[in-house]
Structures are given as structure tokens and as C-alpha cells.
Amino acid sequence: MNVQELIKVADLNIVTLPSPEREVEGAYIGDLLSWVMGRACENNAWITIMSNSNIVAVATLADVSCIILAEGVTPDEGVTETAESKGVNILSSPKSAYEIAKALFKSGL
Amino acid sequence: MQEHLIFRFDVDGEDFTSAGQASVHVKKNLRQIGIDPETIRRVSIAMYEGEINMVIHAGGGVAEVHVYDEYIEIILDDRGPGISDIDKAMQEGYSTASDNIRSLGFGAGMGLPNMKKNTDKLDIFSTVGVGTKIVMRVNYKN
Ligand SMILES: Nc1ncnc2c1ncn2[C@@H]1O[C@H](COP(=O)(O)OP(=O)(O)OP(=O)(O)O)[C@@H](O)[C@H]1O
Ligand SMILES: [Mg+2]
């Protein structure tokens, strides 16, 4: 499944979608950046409530296919633009990380 | 000494929000010269953690990446406060990060362990009050 398809089946909102074709395989949930760096796998969807610009560098370096901001969190100023220019997909949802993970699971991820 | 490729960056210690840019650059450059993805991933993770540490603990520094035929070497050099107990700093969960820095998502105490895990060689030279130099080596896959 790619990110574009995931958005539809898991009912996610688009914050920025510069790389809609990226494959998604599995997910990682976490807010502590060095845990995410150490544990998230390539092409995971990364679910977090962190909204500052460091999430863009982490997403780039950990090779996740998208960031999903949970609990209705919105990115800090300038983050969306940075993500867009770096090709990092940011999605969002009013749901909790648990509810989002459930939706991803149900969608066949 | 044989000629080899070197990337060099001044890492700004003021701006926490744009931290990690040197690592992002290196990743892009390594991709362009055709380094294997697994090696790029390990270099990216190890360098990012070292770069962030220079920013949040040492007020910035200099990062160099040397691309040799057999391996990639990452050298991080700062004039920060130094690390008094390196064994302790290497432990998972040990962190001296302030609340302010933790609120950005740093301070899990997993950076140095991540550097260890993703490199084939890690040397830390540190003197309290003088600075810290970290040399990491990542061998190519195969
Ligand atoms: N370049 C440095 N200069 C001075 N102290 C450092 C440096 N790098 C690491 N340290 C010390 O070692 C500790 C552990 O570093 P480590 O990267 O493992 O964790 P952290 O940076 O506190 O949190 P995290 O990396 O999980 O965000 C730091 O809290 C800090 O006290
Ligand atoms: Mg660290």
C-alpha cells in the first residue's frame, strides 16, 4: 500500500503530501526522537504527537514513509513547508495513537 | 594518504529547530555517489545522534564525513563541556538534557547507544572543560 491509499482507507487528513507514492510497511509509535531513530523501520508510518521541526529530519533520516500527527496536533510554524521541500509526508488525525494504529491494522497494513 | 571524499560541516549550536541538517545533507550526498542503502541508514542514524548531541550538549561543533574505499568515518568535534563519565553516558536512559530540550523530544538517553549500535567502531575522546571528539566507523555491507 502507498501513502495515498493509506490516507483513504484509514481516514487521515493531509497536512502535506509531497511523496504520495511512497510504500508503507508497518508503523511505529513514539515521541522520543532517539527511540524513533533507533527503532522505526524503513517505510514505517510514524505516529507521534511531536510537532516541532525536528520531526522532519528524523523522518528523513529514519526513512519513514509518513508522519501521522495524532490527537489533533498541528505542526509548529514552518514545519509543513520544510517537510514539503524535503519530500516528507505529514498526515494528521484527531484520533489517539491507539485508534490510528487500529485503523492502520484494519486497513491491512 | 590516498585521496578520498570528505564532507565537512559547521554545526550551529544556537538553533535547536533546524538541528540535523548536516546529517540530512550527508545522506543525500551518499545516495548520489551510490553507497548501499544499509550503510547510508547506519551512517545517517549515527551521525544524526552525534550532531544533535553537539547542538544540545556542546553549543555546536564541526562534523566531517570521510568516504574511504573500505568504510565511512564520521568525526564530530566540539568545544563543549566534555563528558566526565563516558561509561555512564553510554548507558541507555542516561541523560542530562534540560526540561526545555526534553520538550522537543530529545533526552531519552538513547543517542550514544544508537551510535554504538549502528557503527563498527566508536571512539570517544573527551576532556571536561575542553571538549569532545567522537570518531565512528561504518563498514560497507559485505
Ligand atoms: N558532545 C557532547 N558534549 C557533552 N556531553 C555530551 C555530549 N554527547 C553526549 N553527552 C552527554 O552524554 C549524555 C548521553 O547522551 P545521549 O545522546 O545518549 O542521550 P541524550 O542526548 O541526553 O538524549 P537522546 O540522545 O536520547 O535525545 C548526555 O545527556 C550528555 O550528558
Ligand atoms: Mg543524544
Q: Rounded to the nearest whole angstrom, what is the distance from the C-alpha of residue B118 to the centroid of ligand 2? A: 14
Say whether B105 and A38 touch across the interface (CB within 8 A). Answer: no
**Predicted pLDDT at B14:** 86
Q: Which atom of ligand 1 is nearest to the CA of B113?
A: 18
Question: Which positions in chain B touch A53 (Cβ < 8 Å)?
Answer: 17-18
Domains of chain B: 5-139 (3.30.565.10)
pLDDT in tens, B85-135: 999 999 999 999 999 999 999 999 999 999 999 999 999 999 999 999 999
Check if A49 contacts B (Cβ < 8 Å). Answer: no
Chain B residues with CB under 8 Å of A38 CB are 45, 110, 113-114, 117
A residues 53-92 near B, CB within 8 Å? 53-55, 57-58, 60-63, 76, 86
DSSP category for residue A75: P
Q: What is the ipTM of this complex?
A: 0.94
Over residues B30-38, the mean pLDDT reads 96
Contact A38 B18 (CB under 8 A): no
Q: Which residue of B has its CA nearest to A82?
A: B18
Q: What three-state secondary structure class fits B3?
A: coil
Phi and psi, residue A60, nearest 5°: -65, -45
Decide whether any atom of ligand 1 lies within 6 Å of the B89 Cβ: yes
Q: Which domains are seen in chain A, by residue range? A: 3-101 (3.40.1390.20)
Q: Residue B75 pairs with which residues in a beta bridge? A: B64, B135
pLDDT of residue B17: 82
CB contact under 8 A, A54 and B19: yes
Distance CA B92, CA B112 (A): 8
Q: What is the mean pLDDT of residues B54-70?
A: 97
Residue A36: is its pLDDT beyond 70? yes
Torsions phi, psi of A98, nearest 5? -60, -50
